[in-house]
Structure 1
């Protein structure tokens, strides 16, 4: 407020604490000090206050194949549920409430959302569910998603639950570098996936939304194993450092190139794509440094590859980047990927190839749903098409520009 201004205040407003506020407020009051392992029991206790029982918190595994129950006092722990074909999986993928009738009530599955990313699913059994129950549980699930994300920074508890097999040291490094796997906003959505999840090494991606500019990077460090992971770590670190100084794409490329060259010499390099998308206008700028060109998807069909003059991979030293531009239409999607996806050989020895990639995208695209569901479907379908074989890292990063405005989200709902 400016000097001398006073905030208007309506003394007639009802500020008494209702049942829903008491329930969610009690959770918030304790959230800042509760240890991570007690998040589940605390949630189960709160759900019990509205007559809920058999509470389960299901977390997505690293392969994005199953939802695994979080163990804890007062929590119901059963077998992991497949994401495909289950009620919990439908709630997870489509970000909707799913109700499953039971002999003695109804099982309600709610997505645990955090910034558009999916943490997992909250499952609760009620005698019956009305609109008040659904509204309260939806808000509770949102709070639980935020809690799990926040507390994850203080514990290995949740990460251990998500693991279905042993993870390599290189993969451990790469997963620690990643941003959230998905982000959904009114103007733009992003979702990525890495494979093989438990043995990834040189592939990585990064994104961030600064005001109206979405910054994106996809990298593929040469080699395999721990050395590739170290190379990728320096590349992502240099990218973030330059990006946070608010330089343009040309300066950003030069900074990354210099950092890799000085640390590793010209014998080691990183292929990369660095992009900037103005989410207010749809104008995309990008540098392609030795990477496969992305695919432009419009109306669920691949309409082309936005080609640009090639720039040397990051690390050779001294190259001047070539920047290209493209104007997107609302609803356009861009699929960025690394060469491990198309250079893999099928069981009969034939290379998978980009034409086959496009055929799969157009075949499964119409049922792909939101970008998070679509990129997961693409990855798992491609894996099956290759006979489950992955001898190199592979990354998919899918971006959809929606257009429109988001100012209304800053206005309180009445």
Structure 2
């Protein structure tokens, strides 16, 4: 019997049977077929425990949601204290929690004027797109092929057709996609001067973290200015100190008109996201502040947690630790490339954002993910380029755990070779 307080299951298989029956059959079967039988039970810091008690080091972090670790004690304490006073709040009225968080976000985001809150990243992207359309009085949106910005109404139309066509949500007449790092294609998309905004992740996460070429992001911003479009920086996975700066666009020296943050802003405890807008993009907030409303967007409990997240991320010791982990991973991955270069073919890195290339098989990272799982490390492959493993160490990770991770990585490579060999023979 597995007892989770109000939830009880006779066995792990009993749980899987019910997940298939009542929740999501395809997702549940997919992971079982992939050899990942994870059902998360206890979670603390950068460690997950399967419901059967097996420990895993978390290098997935649910896209950076657990940037500060699972159930970070300081954040848990903040949320518990907030429950003595706050609840979701009432979105119709000025709120001390929302106002304080909005000021905190604007203070760490040069060029931004207002913060507009939502429950999740996709909804914040919707706000960003609507704000750009308001400001420019144009409809078209340009995004990156294999980019990812969520699954809600406008956000999903910016992404891969895997997520749009199944729901008849593709809108090719108003949502245009161009290849990443192709500045000529970008200019062609923008030169008609009928585009409201370009939206892109500073480093496209679900595409495997391909790094922008030198000058690419600045050139994109210059084209937006030339042709009257707004530049939206999606910082959901690249923000909150993961590149070594509060926001990835600061690392690359680009000034967006609008930016989006989510995932890690919640501390992994209470859903919250935000679209930050400059004066022009936020003009609608003066004209009709109820043009966009959300009952749970900017829930006051979430604001209290997010306010603490921003405060923690500015601490000098945390900033220094990001640099330490960055340097450790760069050196360690160089050593692993030298040892396992027959299957491990490249590293993409900016700060604690890494994409590990296993390019000799079109789904190389899927097999490596399984081998690492068997060694007690959870890292996920990139959904839109399965040759690349997403490798996302947390910003508070200590050196001892870093060494443990790399020892396990090294130990997983023989099994990864075996799985890749079997896959090659099957093909």
TM-score exceeds 0.5:
no
Q: TM-score, normalised by structure 2?
A: 0.29
Q: TM-score, normalised by structure 1?
A: 0.29
Q: Structure with the greater relative contact order (CA < 8 A, sep ≥ 6): 1 or 2? A: 2
Q: Report which of the two has the higher share of helix.
A: 2
Q: Report which of the two has the higher share of strand.
A: 1
